[in-house]
């Protein structure tokens, strides 16, 4: 009887453990490049995360996944595989597909991470470049429909800058990747900037109408967009009007409102490259 009970207990434990022990593999390919991302577990506990890159069927890269933000404990950007955490696409438009691995660090308002593995010229060695896109996350899209890819996101540096996260506005940000570096090309897309600015202005006007006392985070995002469009004088006039109307307020302790907010915002925008 004890022997039968012991066997039943062992079988039951194996059945329970089996799903967690099974590996998930996400695969993507372009041309002769194939990338496979393998991991075990479920959120928030993942193990055995490995990225393998093959060229024409031959493995040229196979290493554990590591990030400076979450070391070996990153979560897949898409644990379900829909969409996959790994993509293969020609980011640099040079005929050599790059591998992009999306990860998530976990934690409140943090952090979407993209690791780009690009082929070093005249070698079969892949070099990793990482970028932390913070809470907004990122979408890789062909905005101009010309076969060139952009990273569409928002500027996470605005989070908590003038108020708490919930009341912060994050202006649009667009980057490209080439020569192992991300480059900000937001100014090249004025229509998208204008659309984003209109969204933030509508939110601010709604807050003002409802006498909401924490509006400076939203208007900061609008000012950033408009400054990218070269409308700095318009921004200065509008902010002054809103200051006089008493609409530039913050509920966060220690954060300035009114004229002090305008001065702090201008310093921040200049430091971040929005104001030239």
The tens digit of pLDDT for each residue in 202-229 reads 999 998 777 777 889 999 999 999 999 9
Residue partners of 46: CB distance under 8 A and separation at least 6: 39, 40, 73, 74, 75, 76, 79
Q: Mark whether 201 and 120 lie in a shared domain.
A: no
25, 124: one domain? yes
CB 119 within 8 A of CB 128: no
Percentage of residues in the chain having pLDDT higher than 70: 91
Do 142 and 275 share a structural domain? yes
Whether the per-residue pLDDT at 4 is higher than 60: the answer is no
Give residue 85's pLDDT.
94
Pair 25, 103 in one domain? yes
Same domain for 166 and 229, yes or no, is yes
pLDDT at 124 exceeding the cut of 60: yes
8 is a domain residue: no
Same domain, 97 and 197: no
What's the CA gap between 187 and 273, in Å, rounded?
A: 11
Residue 230 above 60 pLDDT?
A: yes
Is 74 within 8 Å of 52 (Cβ atoms)?
no
> Residue 157's pLDDT is what?
94
Share of the chain above pLDDT 90, in %: 61
pLDDT, mean over the chain: 87
pLDDT at 81: 66
**Domain finish residue from 83, 102, 132:** 132
Average pLDDT (87-113) is 89
The token pair at 239 is 């902010």
The pLDDT, as a whole number, for residue 10 is: 32
| Domain endpoint, select from 132, 161, 190 | 132
* Mean local confidence (pLDDT), 184-194: 97
Would you state the pLDDT for residue 165? 86
* Residue 112 and residue 176 in one domain: no
Q: Are residues 233 and 205 in the same domain?
A: yes
Considering the domain boundaries, does residue 4 fall inside one?
A: no
The pLDDT tens digits for 38-88 are 999 887 788 899 999 999 999 999 999 999 888 877 889 877 667 899 999
Looking at the structure, do residues 124 and 142 belong to the same domain, yes or no?
no
Look at residues 111, 132, 153 and tell me which one is the last residue of a structural domain: 132
Q: What would the two tokens of residue 198 be?
A: 């209109």
* Predicted local confidence at residue 6, as pLDDT: 33
pLDDT of 240? 96
| 127 shares a domain with 29 | yes
Per-residue confidence (pLDDT) for residue 31, from 0 to 100: 92
Domain of 110 in residue numbering reads as 21-132
- Does any domain span residue 12? no
The number of folded domains in the chain is: 2
pLDDT at 9 over 80: no
Asked, for residue 13, whether it belongs to a domain, the answer is no
Identify whether residues 209 and 225 lie together within a single domain: yes
Do 162 and 269 belong together in one domain?
yes
CA dihedral 193, 196, 197, 203 (to 10 degrees): 180
The yes-or-no verdict on residue 3 having pLDDT over 50 is no
| pLDDT band at residue 11 using 50, 70 and 90 as cut-offs | very low
């Amino acid at each position: 009887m004890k022997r039968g009970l012991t066997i039943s207990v062992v079988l039951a434990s194996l059945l329970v453990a089996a799903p967690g022990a099974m590996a998930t593999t996400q695969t993507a390919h372009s041309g002769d490049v194939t990338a496979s991302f393998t991991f075990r577990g479920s959120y928030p506990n993942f193990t055995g995360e490995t990225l393998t890159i093959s060229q024409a069927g031959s493995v040229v890269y196979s290493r554990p996944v590591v990030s400076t933000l979450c070391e070996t404990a990153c979560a897949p950007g898409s644990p379900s595989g829909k969409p996959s955490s790994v993509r293969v696409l020609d980011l640099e438009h040079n005929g050599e597909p790059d591998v992009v691995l999306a990860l998530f660090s976990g934690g409140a308002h943090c952090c979407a991470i993209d690791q780009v593995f690009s082929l070093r010229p005249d070698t079969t060695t892949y070099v990793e470049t990482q970028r932390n896109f913070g809470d907004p996350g990122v979408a890789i899209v062909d905005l101009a429909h010309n076969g060139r890819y952009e990273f569409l996101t928002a500027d996470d540096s605005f989070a908590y800058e003038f108020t708490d996260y919930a009341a912060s506005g994050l202006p649009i940000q667009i980057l490209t990747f080439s020569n192992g570096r991300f480059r900000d090309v937001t100014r090249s897309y004025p229509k998208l900037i204008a659309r984003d600015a209109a969204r933030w202005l509508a939110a601010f006007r709604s807050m003002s109408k409802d006498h909401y006392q924490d509006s400076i985070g939203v208007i900061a995002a609008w000012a950033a967009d408009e400054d990218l469009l070269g409308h700095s004088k318009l921004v200065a006039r509008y902010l002054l009007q809103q200051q006089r109307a008493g609409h530039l307020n913050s509920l966060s302790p220690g954060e300035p409102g009114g004229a002090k907010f305008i001065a702090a915002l201008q310093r921040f925008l200049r430091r971040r490259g929005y104001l030239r």
